[in-house]
Structure 1
């Protein structure tokens, strides 16, 4: 039975809509809490008199915490369920945000950002998986990408707050406690994932939840067929010799791990975090006024959001793989041109327009392409028995690489110059294109069970799913 078409006309019910809202709030918090540091660093530097290395440590603190949170999120969501884990994430978001906003020193601020990062990491591990497990195949891409789109909105709001320079960095960071509290409140009434309920042996609860998610209009037989498919796969999983983290070592699951972790790694190596975190710092270093540098960050964040909206609208029709293969070359060319401008010493007030244009063009192609794949792919490719561990491993790769890059970007620029750094990231984009072309299959329109079936048949490759 091809479940990719069976549930292809499923509607977005109120339960799914509220789930998408919860995902959007989680994504907003991720984007805001990571993006607010871009403009806040200028004020933090003035208050604490920090060095270049300390700037990198404060920036990367949230990323180190995210690695820890991604691992913890896997354990918690597997044992206690997706819903309870997200509720806990909401609480930690509030506590971490408030701790950052009252930090008395640069050291305590970095430590508080580690705490906040655990919420970010757990959210990115659990929320896309939760949405994917509730959504019908035909709607999964758009619903999961509500999380991705909200990341861009969070970054945009954070850059607008920073560019306005109307709030102190303490207030600008502390305001994130409000949506975190809203997330907790919304999740109180949401159902648990029916796939997790089946895994926990609660089949009757899973049936009732699935009927609630699909809505009163849904044919009872379709709901039963979907439940039977989930139950059947769970029976097979129970016979598997290894589950969870041990299960990731099984040869038939390895292709999913390569695709998921590879995509996560390249979303960071593409240069997006360098652009988001350090654009004001880089531009002020080459002579931009602080206000102009912050305004450039706003333009970049707005471009990110616009392209996420465009991607959200077309990705299920065009296909994930095809869209990314079309978009990556534009990002690579933009970085190469930017590197040439810096390397040839043309980064002057007369060429400021060219610098900003290259940054915006890069963001256009990167946000509308590769960035769409990171969290969406992780929510799709892993079989149920290892899904929590797989999404956790993928999130840890993403956040770990993000932390390493954030800790080294400014040092790399000091060592090889802005031009050299741009060339390095342009090369990473070329490598990402090759990886996707050779390794990543097209997953649009396929149910989670279809994808798992392709892994078991050893046909999880381009043209094989």
Structure 2
């Protein structure tokens, strides 16, 4: 972003040196938006433990388990794609309000389902809200946050996913709460989110695009430090909005433009590898995998809690250090640890060391994987989409990235149990370990370090053709 000073012809005003100071208003926006991330983590994670109860209640086989687990992901693909145009027409806030309503309806639908068909349809509806939120919430926060804190504020969404997963695993491990109650209770935070969203401002960048500069001025004055002159920031937004309206590079067709392509490759590539790294395999199916290999149900559910807590702890640590260490460096440091843990885990199963005596080693490998994966690559999944794409194609770009992420997740969820039945647990772990190696190579060659860069500066790098990792070295 250009340096901020008094606009030509305007008197100096007392204000912060930069727009980088964090205000309570921006924090509140990030926290309320993060509730949708918590719902994502809870609604996807609760199926891990609930599936054991659902299997008994409905008497379903392996194929139905995969369909019930995956239906929310199909809905997420549809939600991610649909909410791209919705966020452009209704605004970022308006879209999130609509999604909060869908979260409530979807949770209650699932809780009241009389059979696996209706349950799968309910999770499809719930998935629409999950996918739409992952497309809209990070973009909403990124467009309100100062560059200095954008990474950490957007990652509040990611941290909230971890909180949702932990809560879901604890609820599942209790075994005392019927699955209908454990799924339906998600309607409560969704209703709270809806009530709070009605009091939040719209994205100033979206308001400027709608020729509502006065409204954008009011919003920026609310979310920037007292005394800060918002005019320079608004001028920069307005200039980009004018360029967007006259540019050939717009919307979905703009994603095919040569100068935008590096952002699309980075965003969609990261989306694919966050899923191929094995995180969803562990979250969704770890109790099923462990019980199928001789673990008791109580032990398997306790392990899922430990994994959920490990996920959250790693995310919190990553949140505190990411802007100091840098997105690229942190990811490159963490991926090898995740890969190694999967290779060791695969060896334990392939070599026959998966019995009672090896339980501590299996659990250790799972926890180590979760720490390295959640504290590195997973942090990048939603952050890259919120800050990489140019303004004119940002809704389409984030929608495409979310759809790719959820589509990959859907493919994994629909095939994992079948894959394990075909090649075994150990070989499956090795395959996902190799995916982590591929992820490291992708990050090394394709991912610049965007830490501390304004959205406008990142767009400038793309338009200049200087979006390689070496071009962002400080």
Indicate yes or no: 2:90 matched with 1:80. Answer: yes
> Equivalent residue for 2:207?
197
1:441 aligns with 2:448: yes
Residue 411 of structure 2 corresponds to 404
Aligned residue number for residue 41 of structure 2? 31
Report the CA distance shift for 1:297/1:73 in structure 2 as closer, same or farther (over 3 A): same
Report how far residue 203 of structure 1 moved: 1.5
Give 1:463 deviation, angstroms.
2.1
Question: Aligned to 2:113, which of 94, 103, 127?
Answer: 103
How far has the Cα of 1:10 moved from its partner?
2.5
| Helix, strand or coil at the partner of 1:346 | coil
Which of the residues 305, 308, 311 maps onto 1:304? 311
Residues in 1 aligned to 2:326 and 2:4: alpha-carbon distance in whole angstroms: 14
- Equivalent residue number for residue 239 of structure 1: 246
Q: What is the CA–CA distance in structure 1 between the aligned matches of 2:404 and 2:17, rounded to whole Å?
A: 32
Distance 2:343 2:84 in 1: 38
Deviation readout 1:380-412 (Å, 9 max, x if unpaired): 001111110000000000000000000000000
Secondary structure of 2:427 counterpart: helix
Q: Provide the residue aligned with 1:457 in structure 2.
A: 464
Q: Distance in 1 between matches of 2:342 and 2:57?
A: 33
Contact 1:7–1:137, Cα closer than 8 Å, also in 2: no
Q: Are the aligned partners of 1:8 and 1:137 in contact in 2 as well (CA < 8 Å)?
A: no
Secondary structure in 1 matching 2:211: coil
Spell out the pairing of 1:280-429 with structure 2 (5 A cutoff).
280-429=287-436
On the 8 A contact 1:70/1:125 being kept in 2, the answer is: yes
Using the alignment, how far apart are the partners of 1:12 and 1:291 within structure 2? 44
Corresponding position of 2:11: none
Checking the alignment, whether the CA contact within 8 Å between 2:34 and 2:137 is kept in structure 1 is no
In 2, the alpha carbon distance for the partners of 1:136 and 1:242 equals: 26
Runs of 5+ unmatched residues, structure 2: 6-15
Structure 1 counterpart SS, 2:63: helix
SS of the residue corresponding to residue 469 of structure 2 reads coil
| Preserved CA contact (<8 Å) 2:73 2:124 | yes
SS in 2 for 1:464: helix
CA shift, 1:9, in A, is 5.9
CA drift of 1:193 comes to 0.3
Question: Where does residue 169 of structure 1 map in the other structure?
Answer: 179
Normalized against structure 2, the TM-score is what? 0.96
Contact 2:80 2:403 in 1 (8 A): yes
2:105 maps to 1:130: no
Question: Residue deviations 1:283-328, cap 9 Å, x none?
Answer: 0011000000000000000000001100010001110000000000
Name stretches of at least 5 consecutive residues in structure 1 with no aligned partner.
none
- What is aligned with 2:65? 55
Q: TM-score scaled by structure 1?
A: 0.98
Check whether the contact 1:152–1:308 (CA below 8 A) recurs between aligned residues.
yes
Residue number in structure 2 paired with 1:219: 228
SS of the equivalent of 2:424 reads helix
Confirm or deny: 8 A CA contact 1:148 1:308 kept in the other structure.
yes
- The CA distance in 2 between the partners of 1:339 and 1:27, in whole Å, is 31
The CA RMSD measured in Å over matched residues stands at 1.3
Distance (Å, rounded) in 1 between the aligned partners of 2:335 and 2:117: 38
Residue 237 of structure 1 and its aligned partner are, at CA, apart by 1.4
- Write out aligned runs for 1:3-22 (5 A): 10-22=20-32
User: 3-state DSSP class of the match of 1:444?
Assistant: coil
Structure 1 range deviating more: 15-24 or 166-175: 15-24
Aligned residues: 462
Three-state SS of the structure 1 residue aligned to 2:471 is coil
Change (3 A) 1:374 1:4: farther
